[in-house]
Structure 1
Amino acid sequence: MAITWGIVGGFSITIDYRRLQLSQPTEGYHRLWAHRSFSACIGIRIALAVIGAAQNQWPILWWVKHHRAHHKYTDTDQDPYNATRGLLFSHIGWLLGLNESAWGPVDLSDLKKDPVVVWQDRLYWPILITVGILLPGAVAHYGWNDWKGGILFAGITRIIITQHITFLINSVAHAPWAGTQPYSTSTTARNIPLLAILTLGEANHNFHHAFPTDYRNGVNWNEPDFSRWIIWLWGRLGWVNNLKIASPLEIEQARFKRKKESTRRKSDSDEHIRALPKLPQMSWQDFRKRCDDFDELTCINGVVYDVADFKDDHPGGRDLIQQSIGKDATELYYGNHLHSPQADNILKSLQVSLLENSHH
């Protein structure tokens, strides 16, 4: 029972982190609520919220807060489990010396509008005790007269083991000596197939950091991801929808650039600008006027981007994109943290014009 309940609980954490808006149903802790990778019906959301609480990994709001900060500020001092501080810190030290004030700010407005998230946050401890500890004890008691074993093994021990398996994603999946980086070297995240099996797909971590809004954690046979197939099945049954995936072209571009060890940082952006003579010119005055007329434009390194359709997909939350509208966001983009090559590719697809007389 401990193993079965542990696997079910593991799925609730890996699947449980995506997008929450009142205008549409939402998803789970990691892929549903944290990364907005798909949308789910109210029944799936409630089930994931209840089973997720039973894993003693804190409410959805708190879990998503530190996870979004991890993706937004990866490998910096504002990353809650900054891997550059060592394996022990990224595994559990960040919790033993918990310092939320050091975390970088993230946008949680979407979660605070979701009634399931708010309900779970209010009743987190009663759900944890009832479903996580007392329920296994009751099943073992009425099933084979062993309530003590049910509470000890399927309750407390299962919770501890599930927690540490989850923490391995923060530690081992970011360790410099572990796994591979087939998609990006811009972060410490790595793919570890054996650990991916243990974590139901979460340790295909290099792919995940390169394509954080993809509901899958890998596309190849050697990138095992059991959670992906559960979400896919739910989609076929009509319980979830809006499953997001990175385009095959984007994935191949990331692989190609990784093979060439290309970083494509600021200097690469300059080269790209010179290679796009067909982009129309726009003056700064026209840029500002269009923004005043409610066009959602931003400027980075002399290039104007239309971010209207990307705001809700931004891994760091829509608030950061909203702050950049009508402004030169060059320092925000390059100074905030090292964006992945995938982020650069997405940015390239949003280009609409060049600023006239740009000195970039």
Structure 2
Amino acid sequence: MSNPRGKLARLGSRAVPRHTWKAEIEWYKQNFHGFLHISLLGPIIVIFLTAPYVIARQNTIIMAITWGIIGGFSITIGYHRLWAHRSFSACLGIRIALAVVGAAQNQWPILWWVKHHRAHHKYTDTDQDPYNATRGLLFSHIGWLLGLNENSWGPVDVSDLKKDPVVVWQARLYWPIVITVGILLPGAIAHYGWGDWKGGILYAGLARIIITQHITFLINSVAHAPWAGTQPYSASTTARNIPLLAILTLGEANHNFHHVFPADYRNGVNWNEPDFSRWIIWLWGRLGWANDLNIASPFEIERARSNQLKGRTERQRDSHEDIQALSKLPQISWEDFRKRSDDANNLTCISGVIYDVADFMDDHPGGRDLIQQSLGKDATDLYHGSHLHSSHADDILKGLQVFILEDSGH
């Protein structure tokens, strides 16, 4: 049987992977992705070559900025909070609008975007994280796309998206939407509005797409950089809160909060954690266009913040108290655990401790499917292996303890 004390000892034991420049160059050589190079770098070259001959008119620039902000919200609210994390639900009209405007930002279909983002949360800062921040700023910002290798991503469940007709429809018509809504529509508006179709296509189309892309990419790179921001909720990942970047990214750079509470429709709750996307979702909720707005309890938020503020001595004392609490749990055999699990289908074992996860399955950031894989099994490797859980996650787990395995083992 696993030692229950192992739950406390193993946290933080996993080594951070190291990547040399030689290894990175070899990675890009082996995984060079020509289409993504053209898609990401080609428009920059076009703008550089043609901008000197196309005057940037005031109306066109205002439209580009406005269209860029609307497009940014389609990513933060739609791609990210609605589809990637299911932090709220929305009516059909809102979902279609978010899917169309989101596609016009050329950040690829919802299904693909969510796949890499869920892998990022499930395998943060490991080699199975698509934009692993431990590989440096270049890789986490854009290198993971220029040297794309989807086989290196950790597996995730996206079956819920494959059942969403809006997601399926958007994937099928993705490129026609990018061209018509993302590039031609701004050109048409500028042409019929003030006779500037070239500027509309160049600045409100191509340039706006590039800028929106890289603002989103800043969340993957700068919001995980060791020299940036703060970690008020957890230091178990590289994610950080950066208020100024949060303004630019419409709330997304309150990233330390988000990694601890990914299912919360808000990315921050304090005045110094600005989140414009949150208030739009809240307004839609008041209007009846969005519902099931998921929030973390104030108690859990404060507990995460408190744990992060604790000193080393306090954490050691808590570890001792945890071990004492484990010793007071009723003991059961492995056979009894399996029988109880078969009867109720709600128990899992981690490091010799049995947890009742019935009420937590729908709230788990990795999805209900991930927990279901562990029911009736020893999930020690699953919990401690691919993702280094935060102290907040450990606190939640403590509240689910019901038994401890007998020393006879299994």
**TM-score normalized with structure 2 length:** 0.80
Q: Is the 8 A contact 1:57 1:163 kept in 2?
A: yes
> Could you tell me which residue of structure 2 aligns to residue 45 of structure 1?
95
Query: Against the structure 1 CA distance between its residues 355 and 264, is the aligned structure 2 distance closer, same or farther, given a 3 Å change threshold?
Result: farther
Give the letter for the 1:204 counterpart: N
1:68 counterpart (87, 108, 118)? 118
Gap runs ≥5 in structure 1: 17-28
C-alpha contact (below 8 Å) 1:69/1:316 kept by paired residues? no
Q: 1:195–1:203: 8 Å Cα contact kept in structure 2?
A: yes
Asked if residue 128 in structure 1 is aligned to residue 190 in structure 2, the reply is: no
Of 264, 267, 270, which aligns to 1:217? Answer: 267
2:227 alignment partner in structure 1: 177
Q: Provide the C-alpha distance between the structure 2 equivalents of 1:358 and 1:128, rounded to a whole number of angstroms.
A: 61
CA offsets, 1:145-201, max 9 Å, x none?
211111111111000000000000011111111111111100011110000000000
C-alpha displacement of 1:352: 2.8
1:15 aligns with 2:65: no
2:203 pairs with 1:153: yes
Q: Report how far residue 99 of structure 1 moved.
A: 0.8
Paired residues of 1:211 and 1:342 also in contact (CA < 8 A): no
Q: Which amino acid aligns with 2:262?
A: P
User: Which one is further off, 110-119 or 272-281?
Assistant: 272-281
CA displacement at 1:266 relative to structure 2: 12
TM-superposition CA deviations, 1:65-89 (whole Å, max 9, x none): 1101111111111111111111111
**Change over 3 Å in CA distance of 1:87–1:267 after alignment to 2:** farther
Q: Check the 8 A contact 1:108/1:317 in 2, yes or no.
A: no
Match of 1:191 among 241, 258, 265: 241
Matching residue of 2:293: 243
Name the residue aligned to 2:36. Answer: none
State the distance in 1 between where 2:335 and 2:148 align: 47
User: How many Å separate the matches in 1 of 2:317 and 2:379?
Assistant: 16
1:243–1:341: structure 2 CA closer, same or farther, 3 Å change rule? Answer: same
C-alpha distance in 1 between matches for 2:325 and 2:401: 13
CA RMSD of aligned residues (A): 2.2
In structure 1, what is the Cα distance between the partners aligned to 2:317 and 2:405? 18
Q: Give 1:312's aligned residue.
A: 362
Deviation at 1:265, TM superposition (A): 10
Please show how residues 50-61 of structure 1 align to structure 2 within 5 Å. 50-61=100-111
1:263/1:324 CA distance change after superposition, 3 Å: farther
Q: 1:102 and 1:42, CA in 2 relative to 1: closer, same or farther beyond 3 A?
A: same
Residues 1:293 and 2:355 aligned together: no
Q: 2-side partners of 1:15 and 1:278: how far apart?
A: 45
Name the stretch that deviates more: 240-249 or 345-354: 345-354
| Counterpart secondary structure, 1:47 | helix
- TM value normalised by structure 1: 0.91
Distance 1:267 1:94, change over 3 A: farther
1:247-258 correspondence runs (5 A):
247-258=297-308
Query: For 2:239 and 2:149, how far apart are their aligned partners in 1?
Result: 23
Q: What is the aligned-residue identity percentage?
A: 84
Rg larger in structure: 2
User: 1:17-36 alignment to 2 at 5 Å?
Assistant: 29-36=79-86
Task: Please tell me whether the aligned partners of residues 326 and 404 of structure 2 are also in contact (alpha carbons under 8 angstroms).
Answer: no
CA distance in 2, matches of 1:106, 1:61: 12
Asked if 2 retains the 8 angstrom alpha-carbon contact of 1:141 and 1:147, the reply is yes
Going from structure 1 to structure 2, the CA distance change for 1:177 and 1:125 (only over 3 Å counts) comes to same
Task: Give the conservation status (yes or no) of the 8 Å contact 1:107–1:318.
Answer: no
